[in-house]
């Protein structure tokens, strides 16, 4: 039996891929609900566990759907299947995880390189994404509410608008 992992539909101008279970875009970013999420080799509990995530709020990318399972990819490129109930639609982002040894990135008071830095966030820190305009995202972390260039984030697509 073949698994239907996604369905392509063709709107007027661009081809969009949607999940056959949810009808939502694939791929899309979500976050982990729990601090104990098993990443499995296939879409069932009969498949071996490849990895256990222990970081609630971690952004992951859904790349396929099958029944109650979602195939995900993390910021390091690891892929596998998780139960949909362990995922949240809450948007989060990692601060520049590809720059592990970089200096902390400024969280700014406004969406501009000239805006004051109100905090500095180290690579790999998770922040809640409130909005993105395609260039800048408004983030919340701890008691801070500020802006960061979208290019410094993993968990939002380049040019993506989040409301």
Spell out the residues 6+ positions from residue 116 whose beta carbon is closer than 8 angstroms to its own.
108, 109, 110
List, in order of start, the domains of the chain with CATH numbers: 7-90 (2.30.30.40), 93-162 (2.30.30.40)
**What's the token pair of residue 151?**
């290019």
Give the containing element (helix H, strand E) for 73: strand 69-73
Indicate the pLDDT class of residue 12, thresholds 50, 70 and 90: very low
Report the half-sphere exposure of 129 (CA within 13 A, side-chain side): 33
The pair phi, psi for residue 84, each rounded to 5°, is -60, -30
Question: pLDDT, tens digit, for every residue of 119-153?
Answer: 999 999 999 999 999 999 999 999 999 999 999 99
Report the half-sphere exposure of 44 (CA within 13 A, side-chain side): 3
Answer yes or no: is pLDDT of 6 > 50.
no
Indicate the pLDDT class of residue 2, thresholds 50, 70 and 90: very low
The pair phi, psi for residue 58, each rounded to 5°, is -60, 130
């Amino acid at each position: 039996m073949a698994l239907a992992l996604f369905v392509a539909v063709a709107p007027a101008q661009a081809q969009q891929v949607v999940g056959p279970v949810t009808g939502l875009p694939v791929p899309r970013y979500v976050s982990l609900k729990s601090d104990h999420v098993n990443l499995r080799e296939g879409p069932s509990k009969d498949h071996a566990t490849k990895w256990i995530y222990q970081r609630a709020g971690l952004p992951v990318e859904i790349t396929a759907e099958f029944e109650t399972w979602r195939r995900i990819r993390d910021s390091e490129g690891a892929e596998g299947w998780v139960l949909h109930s362990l995922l949240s639609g809450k948007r989060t982002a990692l601060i520049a995880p590809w720059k592990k040894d970089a200096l902390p990135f400024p969280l700014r008071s406004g969406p501009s390189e000239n805006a004051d830095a109100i905090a500095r966030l180290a690579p790999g820190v998770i922040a809640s994404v409130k909005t993105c305009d395609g260039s800048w995202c408004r983030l919340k972390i701890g008691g801070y509410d500020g802006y960061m260039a979208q290019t410094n984030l993993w968990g939002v697509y380049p040019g993506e608008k989040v409301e």
